[in-house]
Structure 1
Amino acid sequence: MTDREPSMTSPEGAFARATGRTVPAEEGGADKPRYRRYQYDLIAPHCGRSVLEVGAGLGEFAAQFTGLDRLVVTDVDPDAVALLKNRFADRAEVEAHQFDLAGTQALDRPVDTAVAINVLEHFEDDAHVLAVLARSVVPGGTIVLWVPGYQSLYSEFDRRVGHFRRYTPATLRDAIRRAGLACELARPVNLLGGVAWWAAMRLGKVQGPKTGAVGVYDRVVVPATRVLDRLLPIPFGQSVLAVARVPDGGPRAEKAR
């Protein structure tokens, strides 16, 4: 490990370290409904009938999935898992489990799609983590990744929550390839969010997202971002979206050089 904050590899308090938030009794996150829907609309088209979300936290994103045959929500933090079990107790298709990507854990019954939102950057050996995750996906299935974009946006907040890096489409494609997977899509998303993040974190030296600013961003910036996504090729963004395909024979990770 480096001098960064502990990453998601130890369970106690992992959710708080990864997000800068604690696991509260209430559901939380109600100030970002438009942003979560924006994420969902980009991610869901790449998902099959059974979905695993790793690092699901409070279940805010996963709750948007409906009509699936099976939805597995997981987190390394036992407090988050307890909240997930309570949140989805009335949905028969949902399972909630503790799941540690730092080891060799895999689902007993693989899913069509694994989703990892703001997870991969917490691991030094990202290709290994992708190969581990692929073991929980059926051959020919997909892994959908949403990661922080562009090292030029790296800030004290990234360091504090244990980010080893931010990605470009090229560096994310490389990690996918090294994991023995095929990359079908890797592109920047959320151009305006990237500009706002740079201004706040790098110029303004803000230590983390502020509730009031997040609310304004959700109401104003996210709708504008959707318009830009439709009209323009996006060369840069706050995040990078990627879709990896698990080969029919399973992942074949490259040997370390």
Structure 2
Amino acid sequence: MEQFAYREMAEAENAHWWFVGRRKIIESVLAGLELPKSASILEVGAGTGGNLSLLQRFGHVQAMELDAYARDFANKRSGVLVVEGRLPDNLPFEEKQFDLICLFDVLEHVKPDVESLKAISRLLKPDGRIVITVPAYQWMWSEHDVTLHHFRRYSVATLQQTLSAAALQSERLTHFNALLFPLALIVRAANSIFKSSRSPGTKMPSPLVNALLLKVFSSERHILRFGGLPFGLSLLAIAKL
């Protein structure tokens, strides 16, 4: 990503409805995994570190991030040592070390996604899991994806194919961010017309609108506790060896 995108992320992710709501959903999903006490956790592509305090509730956390600006910010913010690393060929960790590996909106930034998942899977303990979130629907491709250096968006089928090609079993695969899907279509259409690369993920709305969007988005965690969603702006996968 461009450095301005990391700066926007650092400024927004503690309060913006999308970042906060996604963390609430992820927290609910991780709570259902019944991880071992003091689980060994790795976040790949930690960005500016907004998820690290959440992950620390579930165990001992390590992290890696390619971008130097984001890595430095995450180190200062979290107290977690965020090291330099690159997918798929520079993973500075021992094999079979982690109970949980997280890639939150990372895989779409990596051209060799299958090779990257194969490399990551070697870091998993035999009963470990990988939790992945990615943007959905290639037909929603926009200037926003270009700005964020995405290589692709995923469908259920293409994400399942990617996991299978990496010799990973899909334990769970569902859409999320479904309730705000109609609003997102309108915003993307407007951005396309006016040639804007911004998205609701980077622009801070008014406090009232932010609180409302957060309430709607984060409420999906109650649905995802019991099942999946048939559509939505994002996909969530839980995979194992």
TM-score w.r.t. length of structure 1: 0.76
Alignment correspondent of 1:116: 103
* Alignment-derived partner of residue 77 in structure 1: 67
- Is contact 2:41-2:101 (8 Å) kept? yes
CA contact (8 A) 1:28 1:58 kept: no
The residue correspondences of 1:67-106 to structure 2 (distance < 5 A) are: 67-89=57-79, 94-106=80-92
| Residue equivalent to 2:197 | 207
Match of 2:176 in 1: 189
Amino acid at match of 2:135: P
Q: Which residue of 2 aligns with 1:224?
A: 216
Consecutive unaligned residues of structure 1, counting only runs of 5 or more, are 1-13, 247-257
State how far apart, in whole Å, the 2-side matches of 1:42 and 1:100 are: 26
Among candidates 107, 110, 118, match of residue 93 of structure 2: 107
Q: SS in structure 2 opposite 1:158?
A: helix
Distance in 2 between the 1:214 and 1:46 partners?
35
1:76–1:217 Cα change, 3 Å: farther
Instruction: State the alpha-carbon separation in 2 of the partners of residues 214 and 116 from structure 1.
Output: 29
CA contact (8 A) 1:155 1:202 kept: no
Higher deviation after alignment, 134-143 or 223-232: 223-232
CA contact (8 A) 2:41 2:100 kept: yes
Confirm or deny: 8 A CA contact 1:194 1:239 kept in the other structure: no
Q: 1:200 to 1:126 in 2, by over 3 A?
A: same
Preserved CA contact (<8 Å) 1:38 1:222 = no
Q: Secondary structure at the match of 2:197?
A: coil
CA gap of 1:57–1:203, structure 2 versus 1, over 3 A, is same
Partner of 1:30 in structure 2? Answer: 14
State the partner residue of 1:53: 43
Distance in 1, Cα, partners of 2:204 & 2:12: 14
Q: Which residue among 232, 235, 238 is the counterpart of 2:230?
A: 235
In 2: Cα distance, 1:153 partner to 1:188 partner: 15
**Residue in structure 2 matching 1:172, options 153, 159, 166:** 159
In 1: Cα distance, 2:106 partner to 2:151 partner? 11
CA distance in 2, matches of 1:227, 1:29: 18
The DSSP-based 3-state class of the residue aligned with 2:64 is strand
- Runs of 4+ residues over 6 Å off in structure 1: none
**Does 229-238 or 188-197 show the bigger shift?**
229-238
Map 1:123-202 → 2, pairs under 5 A: 123-202=110-189
1:188-241 per-residue CA deviation (whole Å, 9 max, x = no partner) reads 001133332221123442421252338666421332244456469622111000
What is the DSSP-based 3-state SS (H/G/I as helix, E as strand, rest coil) of the residue aligned with 1:221? helix
Secondary structure (helix, strand or coil) at the match of 1:65 reads helix
- For 2:8 and 2:216, the matched residues in 1 are separated by 31
Give the Å deviation of 1:81. 2.0
Q: Matched residues in 2 for 1:28 and 1:237: separation?
A: 22
Distance 2:189 2:207 in 1: 20
State the Cα distance separating 1:121 from its structure 2 match.
Answer: 0.6
- Single out whichever of 222-231 and 127-136 deviates more from structure 2: 222-231
Please list every run of 5 or more consecutive structure 2 residues that lacks an aligned counterpart in the other structure: none
> How many residues are matched?
226
**Residue type at the aligned position of 1:21:** Y
Deviation string, structure 1 residues 20-57 (Cα, Å, up to 9, x no partner):
23378x76523323443233323453373111001111
AA aligned opposite 1:30: N
When the two chains are superposed, the root-mean-square deviation of aligned CA atoms in Å is: 2.7
Q: Among the aligned pairs, what percent are the same residue?
A: 24
Distance in 2 between residues matched to 1:182 and 1:226, nearest whole Å: 27
CA contact (8 A) 1:192 1:225 kept: yes
